[in-house]
Amino acid sequence: MLKNSPLKLYPPTCNIIILGLLALLPCSVLAEQASSESAALIEQGRRLYQEGVIGSGKELQGSRSGKVELKGEQAACVHCHRHSGMGSVEGDTLIQPINGNYLFDPDKAQVANMDPRSGKKFNQSHPAYNEGSLAVAIATGINNSGRKMQALMPNYALDKQDMAALTAYLQQLSTTWSAGVDAETIHLATIITPDVDANRRKALIDTLRLSVTQKNGGTATASSKKGRRHMASAAEMVLGTERKWDLQVWELQGTPDTWTAQLNEKLKAQPVFAILSGVSNSTWEPVHNFCENNHIPCWFPSVPVPVTTQSFYSLYFSRGVLLEADVLAKTLAETKPKRVVQIRRNDTAATEAAKRLADSLSKAGVVTEDRIIKEGETISAQSLGELTADDVLMFWLRGNDLVELGKVAPPSIKTSYFSGELAGDAMPETWRANAHLLYPYELPNERQSNLTNFHAWHKMKKLPIVDEYLQADAFFAVEFLTETLSEMLDNLYRDYLVERAESMLGRSESMKSEQQVRERQMRGKTGAAIHQHSSSIYPRLGLGVNQRFASKGAYIVHYDKDGKLAAESDWIVP
């Protein structure tokens, strides 16, 4: 690069001055050339790291004990070290971080390496790597402290160019906090779509705002000494990595096709680290795409129809009505009724659910018919006409429509199903006797002990429970984010946040469940059997690499003679 630069024309002392001047020129040819060269090198490194493709376009090859064992995508670094380069922990196996700070910056290596998941197995400190020592480690499996790396780490024979590309990529990987983070604050936003009614909107905002206010009240930062150190871990206390949260409430307006522009504008005004919770009654797709396109974690929104194509940044509680459709399809594929009549509105949630059910049932040879209640009309006896006793009814209806349904006499049909996700607690009394609900939650009696903290907190804050499902979701989202961010210490990278959720959710949930059982036992109550009860409204939550739906099944329930919901099926995972 210097070869072509104008610098060699001048004596060395002038060079410093010229360099200084050049640095001031934001668009200097020199800088541009340099950055495009290094960008190309970083991109080559990224392909090697993430896709297992080397500079020549061939597959990356990794060998263990002298034999080539892994090729291409399977040999890619990202498998174990993950997108963020922060590594992972599986059982006794600690996969070291290999991000820029850890490898190349001795001052920051320690914090990159402090991972509460690994207990005391912190890595030994090591001198900073350079391209040469990194090449030795990768080629021979001997790290720069002279120690043999663990058996999981393959050896790679990379040529000089590939090694330079990998080094360039790693040097910039997870070295600075993601957008939305500064030394004292983590900026977050929640998103509410226009179709959500005022009561639910307020319930969500109150739960989120009050928990953030409470969290900030107890957080000391450099400029605001009030509060205390969290002491969630010794590392957090010593390093003082806690930050205050700033929560924006992004209330969308208008039709879904205008949401992207609104979101982009809001993000430009205030970059955020993650979207915390959120709610929609219909589509969530524009928000989902916004999160993916801007690489922003979308942290457990409450939505009836999440996007199910494989994506990275969006984490959901469940597949919502699509899960319900699959559970019903699995059940009906066994009983094979003559016809399933789906009664619904023409909204996104009901339409998507009905389409999914119809598709699955047609494969099982079951005919479906959709009856749509038109806009401006209410459900009437007519919508329920021309039915035979063998028909199965599926109601994809909510709130007001269920109130109207209550005014119509139930037809003499053996089996009627309702969507628990859409119906919530709005099931009309007159229909309850013969109704079956698809219920993707823990049963009300079972979940009360799991929701002890949730109820106690809302009582303490004098917040009424308007919608237990929504508020419990929001409460869980805050609780889990608090815990996860606290453990991430100063390693505040968005990819890492997602990876922590992938690997921690199940473990943190099972730890909580064990603790709850112990507490119950201490209070002299039974509950000895440790099931993996979660602290949420779902029986259990867990993710894994590329898993994006934490709860994976549903019960089929009915109202018993005391009017309580009782399961009539096992937890069905379609």
Partner 1 sequence: MNLKAAENIMNYFTQYQRIVVTLIFFLAGFCLPLPVMAEESPAEFARSTGNYVLPDVSVVRQDGKKLSFINELNDGRPVILSFVFASCSAICPMISHTLSKVQTRLAKNGQKFHLVSISIDPENDTPAVLIEYSKKFSSGSQWDFYTGTTENSLTIQKAFDAYRGDKMNHSAAIFMRAKPNKLWLRLEGFGSPDAIIHEYQEMIKP
Residues 13-32 that bind partner 1 (CB under 8 A): none
Structure tokens at 73: 């995508």
Residue 337 contacts residue 391 (beta carbons within 8 Å): yes
528: DSSP letter: -
Residues 47-76 that bind partner 1 (CB under 8 A): 65, 69-70, 74
559, 17, 552, 144: which is closest to 317 by C-alpha? 552
Please identify, using beta-carbon distances, which residue of 74 and 448 lies nearer to partner 1.
Answer: 74
Please identify, using beta-carbon distances, which residue of 248 and 547 lies nearer to partner 1.
Answer: 547
The residue range among 92-100, 178-186, 302-310, 368-376 that interacts with partner 1, by the rule CB under 8 A, is 92-100
CA distance 262 to 268: 10
Q: Is 540 in the site for partner 1 (CB under 8 A)?
A: yes
Can you tell me which of 486, 553, 557, 559 binds partner 1, judged by CB under 8 A?
Answer: 553
Q: Is 544 in the site for partner 1 (CB under 8 A)?
A: yes
Helix (H) or strand (E) holding 480: helix 468-488
Q: What is the smallest separation between the CB atom of 317 and partner 1, expressed in angstroms?
A: 14
Q: Is 130 in the site for partner 1 (CB under 8 A)?
A: no
Please identify, using beta-carbon distances, which residue of 110 and 260 lies nearer to partner 1.
Answer: 110
Q: Is 532 in the site for partner 1 (CB under 8 A)?
A: yes
Q: Is 367 in the site for partner 1 (CB under 8 A)?
A: no
Q: What is the smallest separation between the CB atom of 132 and partner 1, expressed in angstroms?
A: 15
Q: Is 359 in the site for partner 1 (CB under 8 A)?
A: no
Q: Is 82 in the site for partner 1 (CB under 8 A)?
A: yes
Q: Is 243 in the site for partner 1 (CB under 8 A)?
A: no
Residue 159 contacts residue 61 (beta carbons within 8 Å): no
Please identify, using beta-carbon distances, which residue of 185 and 308 lies nearer to partner 1.
Answer: 308
Can you tell me which of 52, 297, 428, 542 binds partner 1, judged by CB under 8 A?
Answer: 542
Look at the block and give the residue holding tokens 């524009």.
286
Q: Is 568 in the site for partner 1 (CB under 8 A)?
A: no
CA distance 290 to 267: 10
Please identify, using beta-carbon distances, which residue of 141 and 256 lies nearer to partner 1.
Answer: 141
Q: What is the smallest separation between the CB atom of 399 and partner 1, expressed in angstroms?
A: 30
Q: Is 386 in the site for partner 1 (CB under 8 A)?
A: no
Q: Is 90 in the site for partner 1 (CB under 8 A)?
A: yes
Q: Which amino acid is at 477?
A: A
CA distance 46 to 140: 22
Q: What is the smallest separation between the CB atom of 125 and partner 1, expressed in angstroms?
A: 9
279, 283, 345: which is closest to 308 by C-alpha? 283
CA distance 422 to 405: 14
Q: What is the smallest separation between the CB atom of 59 and partner 1, expressed in angstroms?
A: 15
The residue range among 48-56, 175-183, 190-198, 507-515 that interacts with partner 1, by the rule CB under 8 A, is 507-515
> Beta 61-64 vs 155-156: how paired, if at all?
antiparallel
CA distance 204 to 103: 42
CA distance 301 to 314: 9
Percent of residues in the chain assigned helix, strand, coil, to nearest 5: 45, 15, 40
352-357 contact pairs (CB < 8 A, 24+)? 352/305, 352/321, 352/322, 353/305, 353/321, 353/322, 353/324, 353/325, 353/396, 353/419, 354/325, 354/394, 354/396, 356/322, 356/325, 356/326, 356/329, 357/325, 357/328, 357/329, 357/394
Q: Is 93 in the site for partner 1 (CB under 8 A)?
A: yes
Q: Is 261 in the site for partner 1 (CB under 8 A)?
A: no
The residue range among 27-35, 169-177, 226-234, 543-551 that interacts with partner 1, by the rule CB under 8 A, is 543-551
382: DSSP letter: G
Q: Is 314 in the site for partner 1 (CB under 8 A)?
A: no
The strand ranges marked E within 239-322 are: 244-251, 274-276, 298-299, 314-315
Residues 139-168 that bind partner 1 (CB under 8 A): 140-142, 145-148, 151-152
Can you tell me which of 45, 85, 180, 506 binds partner 1, judged by CB under 8 A?
Answer: 506
Q: What is the smallest separation between the CB atom of 76 and partner 1, expressed in angstroms?
A: 11
Please identify, using beta-carbon distances, which residue of 375 and 570 lies nearer to partner 1.
Answer: 570
Residue 125 contacts residue 110 (beta carbons within 8 Å): yes
Q: What is the smallest separation between the CB atom of 514 and partner 1, expressed in angstroms?
A: 7
Residue 344 contacts residue 373 (beta carbons within 8 Å): yes
Q: Is 547 in the site for partner 1 (CB under 8 A)?
A: yes
The residue range among 83-91, 305-313, 368-376, 558-566 that interacts with partner 1, by the rule CB under 8 A, is 83-91
Q: What is the smallest separation between the CB atom of 92 and partner 1, expressed in angstroms?
A: 5
298, 281, 559: which is closest to 444 by C-alpha? 559
Q: Is 507 in the site for partner 1 (CB under 8 A)?
A: yes
Please identify, using beta-carbon distances, which residue of 193 and 510 lies nearer to partner 1.
Answer: 510
Residue 188 contacts residue 274 (beta carbons within 8 Å): yes
Q: Is 420 in the site for partner 1 (CB under 8 A)?
A: no
Cα atoms found within 13 Å of the Cα of residue 399, Cβ hemisphere only: 7
CA distance 275 to 172: 25
178: DSSP letter: P
Task: Please tell me the count of residues contacting partner 1 according to CB under 8 A.
Answer: 46
The residue range among 47-55, 269-277, 344-352, 506-514 that interacts with partner 1, by the rule CB under 8 A, is 506-514
The contact set with partner 1 (CB under 8 A) reads 65, 69-70, 74, 79-80, 82, 88-93, 95, 124, 140-142, 145-148, 151-152, 503-504, 506-507, 509-511, 514, 531-532, 540, 542, 544-547, 552-553, 570-571, 573-574
